[in-house]
Structure 1
Amino acid sequence: MTIQRTSAEENHSSDTSTPDDKKIATKSGRWLWFWVGMSGIAMISATAGALLAVSLSSTPLMQAKLSPGEAAVFDGDRISGSGLRFSELTRPVNILVMGMSVLPPDVQNPPSETKGLRYLPQVNSFDGLADVMLLIRFDPEKKNLKMLSIPRDSRVEVEGHGVKKINSANVHGGPALTAKSVSNLLDGVGIDRYIRINVLGVGKLIDALGGVDVYVPKDLKYQDDSQHLYINLKKGQQHLDGNKALQLLRYRHDENGDIGRIQRQQMVMRALMDQTLNPATLTRLPDILNVVKEHIDTNLTVEELLALAGYGARTNRSNILQLMVPGRFSEKNEFDASYWIPNKNRIAKTMAQHFDLQTNAQTNTQANNQENTSLRIAVQDSTGDEKTNLQPLIRTLEKAGYRNVYIAKHSGEPLQVTHLVAQQGDNSSAEIIRDAIGFGEVRVESTGNLGSDVSIQVGKDWVQKLNSLEESLKK
């Protein structure tokens, strides 16, 4: 179902860019903004941590002024070591990351250069809508890193302001109210620190990292002259510079709206994680550092940033999980606006499994029993050959006791190895399915079919397995 938005919402949430001014980035770099900044800092942490500390200490990282009550929303306990161990995490940490989309009407005193324009440019501020929200858990005890995307249209109670889209909490009360809203949505999870990143540096950050090699899932074309928004990308494997990567990350004009954009962002995130942490990145560290310093507001200290970045650099890529708040699109005319409706039962399970929150045991048992009998499995042909026979795989799943199996379209990159995507974060069920079919790689992401619990993105290894079965039958 397509997310419907009013024209007022659309004008406010759309981003602007001019061909002559690559500085104007967009709100939809989202997942990318945090990781690109962290990737650059991680390189320095590994090679020149002391120099970075000296450089950053001369510029305050915190640009907001929190009252004592607002500061108390966040856990102020130390998260990193002391002395020579200042760059090591000492406990699990939950960081709320917000990507800021700020237009001149959002701020009391917009820059003079924005007046008289025929379009709305982005401005370098941390006011306005927090159109990206990630809750990232760094867990040195379990040696993993979990990134939970919170859709900007999630329908929540914003304390003191009634039921709103969660991205408006920053407008009403900054990072503290946003943290409260996120915690209330996610079963009371504690939030240790926050990071707000303005969009203006996104293109520069990607360019500083040398661009990104990524598969564009389909032809993407969109034009909005009033917003100076121009998107024109062709399907296929490409090397994207900052401007083109932003086009991919900004696009949301398809049937899945902002949720589809989150899926593309996870795809870009995976590509960046695979390519940016290498010696070649070291030559671009000055550019990366300058961009991060200009566009960040956080209550993390320099030492804590170094500890998080160092941990991220050391984490095995297979231990980085990308999740999304479970829910559904609102129905047409169900509410006065379009929303992402969170699923409370699934949220409870996600938070218990991935954020170590204690939940009602009976509720969990009931949910588990229900899912064991009606697990939704989407089979997606990712071989690149539309003639691939998927029926033997479906029969195998049915023989293993799975009854809710269906074929779904997949427009992503052709795969050599089959991916079993734990769409709802349930990696244990995905691993059981892998054991049942005997091949594939389990991934905890939200890049599968939205209606599934597990999406099997069938790669060319299935074709090889099928050919082997056919040959054995001939003998």
Structure 2
Amino acid sequence: MTIQRSSAEENQSGKASKSSKRIPLAHNSKSGRWLWFWVGMSGIAMVSATAGALLAVSLTSTPLQQAQLSPQDEAVFDSDRISGGVLRFSELTRPVNLLVMGMSVLPPDIQNPPEETKNLKYLPQVNSFDGLSDVMLLLKFDPETKKIIMLSIPRDTRTEIEGYGVKKINAANVDGGPALTARTVSNLLGGAGIDRYIRINVLGVAKLIDALGGVTVYVPKDMKYQDDSQHLYINLKAGKQHLNGNQALQLLRFRHDELGDIGRIQRQQMVIRALMDQTLNPATVTQLPKVLDVVKDHIDTNLTVEELVALMGFGVRTNRSNMQMLMLPGRFSEKGEFDASYWLPNKNGIARLMAQHFGLESEQEQQGTATDPHSLRVAIQDSTGGDRSNLRPLIRALEKSGYRNIYIAKAWGEPLEVTHIVAQQGDGESAELIRDTLGFGEVRVESTGNLGSDISIQVGQDWLQQKSILEKSLTP
């Protein structure tokens, strides 16, 4: 199947990408728009200076692209320019889809493993890009909507890999590298165009987080796991804490609970959002040449330095409420359904998600329509530690507004000051309607909520303040 550009990039002449408007510096967000305006303004000067340093790094060290792609493989990716033509604070000129792959590579994954990996009593991680892509994300940077959309694709997704049959999607990189992976992802997502790719191996992730100064995140529960065969040791205690690169990697790799790889994806989204909040600012951007120099040996990408600067600049100027994290719709395979465990993609759900967030037309769904409240699955996850009876006024208020499919799910482990109204399936409009109904809370388009829900309400301390007000409104 030929990869097509998304509809947002096309017009009759086929050159809409080159005439798209550049992203403005200010945003229309009600909260913090002036803060982000000045962050963007100061970011111009800082990232402009950073661009030259990035160029110096790239010219004096290992190139950003380490893979050798054939002309056929290169043709998989859209070769049109995605940024301005000069190395400065270069702006995006069109929407960009970036395929990100996290590689976990062991000696058996590659044909000629390094000599130092032999005769060991365990399988060490190898600095290579030839293994399974155990993390797979499709990021859309959209200067038209001023959003960054991140779609997580579970490693166990069952799909067709051209020339190799139906397999788990993480095998596509082993079978054919980034080009085959891009074709596979495109086919899975209804023909979404893939503009560029970036691969980073597991050794680079820890170095990257260390270079960024670590990450403060809430570890949702005690995590302990030991695998001597891979020299993998995970030992984390629950609670909010500052993790170094190795500790963050333990959190990212842990998958031995009831949700398996899906739970790991949820934790990945938590860490990514925390990293964005802590490091995606002009001050940190100036340190990126040094960061790139630390991790360059562990990165392979067909992004140019110019394009990397454009994506960095766009990230600095994007309001955090416009950073949305989704997960491929689907379900776990049942025991005995297949010869292995899979994540089974939901075609209708994918079509709806791609129409709403990636601009692909869908016959099943129309873009920008909220789900009927009667059919919406609403999960309530308490983080306050109170009695369930405290949630009754919340449920009554939702029922009064027409929501019928409401249930109390497993409590949210992290104590929250502000309630999160999570659009688990990417339906941000329905989440906004619930917030308007309740009159409190913060909408988040991400996949950290209850897996079976459309919207998860993670109840925070602000609910305790609003409870009496809501109870009065419900009194006849």
TM-score interval, smaller chain:
0.7 to 0.9
Structure number with the bigger relative contact order (C-alpha 8 A, sep ≥ 6) is 1
Q: Distance in 2 between matches of 1:248 and 1:373?
A: 37
Cα gap change, 1:113 to 1:189, in 2 (>3 Å): same
State the Cα deviation string for residues 31-81 of structure 1 (Å, max 9, x = none).
Answer: xxxxxxxxxx99973542112112213342111111111111111011111
Question: For residue 419 of structure 1, what is the aligned residue in structure 2?
Answer: 420
Question: For residue 396 of structure 2, what is the aligned residue in structure 1?
Answer: 395
Cα gap change, 1:134 to 1:436, in 2 (>3 Å): same
Cα gap change, 1:120 to 1:326, in 2 (>3 Å): same
Query: What do you get for the CA RMSD once the two structures are aligned?
Result: 2.4
Cα gap change, 1:282 to 1:311, in 2 (>3 Å): closer
Question: For residue 451 of structure 2, what is the aligned residue in structure 1?
Answer: 450
Q: Distance in 2 between matches of 1:53 and 1:299?
A: 15
Q: CA deviation at 1:140?
A: 0.7
State the Cα deviation string for residues 379-420 of structure 1 (Å, max 9, x = none).
Answer: 110124346610111111111111110000134311111111
2:163 to 160, 170, 176: 160
Structure 2: stretches of 5+ with no match in the other structure: 1-42
**Identity between Structure 1 and Structure 2 (%):** 73
SS of the residue corresponding to residue 214 of structure 1 reads strand
SS of the residue corresponding to residue 82 of structure 1 reads coil
- Whether the 8 Å CA contact 1:151–1:258 is kept in 2: the answer is yes
- Whether the 8 Å CA contact 2:46–2:286 is kept in 1: the answer is no
Q: CA deviation at 1:459?
A: 0.8
Question: For residue 352 of structure 1, what is the aligned residue in structure 2?
Answer: 355
Cα gap change, 1:411 to 1:323, in 2 (>3 Å): same
Matches within 5 A, 1:311-460: 311-360=314-363, 363-364=364-365, 372-386=373-387, 389-460=390-461
Question: For residue 129 of structure 2, what is the aligned residue in structure 1?
Answer: 126
- Whether the 8 Å CA contact 2:397–2:474 is kept in 1: the answer is no
SS of the residue corresponding to residue 365 of structure 2 reads helix
2:184 to 181, 185, 188: 181
Question: For residue 269 of structure 2, what is the aligned residue in structure 1?
Answer: 266
Question: For residue 148 of structure 1, what is the aligned residue in structure 2?
Answer: 151
**TM-score using structure 1 length:** 0.86
Q: CA deviation at 1:465?
A: 0.9
State the Cα deviation string for residues 254-277 of structure 1 (Å, max 9, x = none).
Answer: 000010011011111111111113
Q: Distance in 1 between matches of 2:471 and 2:455?
A: 27
Q: Distance in 2 between matches of 1:152 and 1:473?
A: 46
Cα gap change, 1:74 to 1:43, in 2 (>3 Å): farther
Question: For residue 252 of structure 2, what is the aligned residue in structure 1?
Answer: 249
Question: For residue 96 of structure 2, what is the aligned residue in structure 1?
Answer: 93
Question: For residue 47 of structure 2, what is the aligned residue in structure 1?
Answer: 45
- 2:122 paired with 1:115: no
Cα gap change, 1:315 to 1:436, in 2 (>3 Å): same
**TM-score using structure 2 length:** 0.86
Q: CA deviation at 1:181?
A: 0.5
Structure 1: stretches of 5+ with no match in the other structure: 1-40
State the Cα deviation string for residues 187-232 of structure 1 (Å, max 9, x = none).
Answer: 1101111111111122222111111111111111112222222111
Q: Distance in 2 between matches of 1:232 and 1:335?
A: 33
Question: For residue 4 of structure 1, what is the aligned residue in structure 2?
Answer: none
Q: CA deviation at 1:83?
A: 2.9
Q: Distance in 2 between matches of 1:449 and 1:221?
A: 23
Paired residue total: 432
Q: 1:162 is aligned with what amino acid?
A: G
Q: 1:45 is aligned with what amino acid?
A: V
SS of the residue corresponding to residue 76 of structure 2 reads coil
Q: 2:50 is aligned with what amino acid?
A: A
Question: For residue 465 of structure 1, what is the aligned residue in structure 2?
Answer: 466
Q: CA deviation at 1:158?
A: 0.3
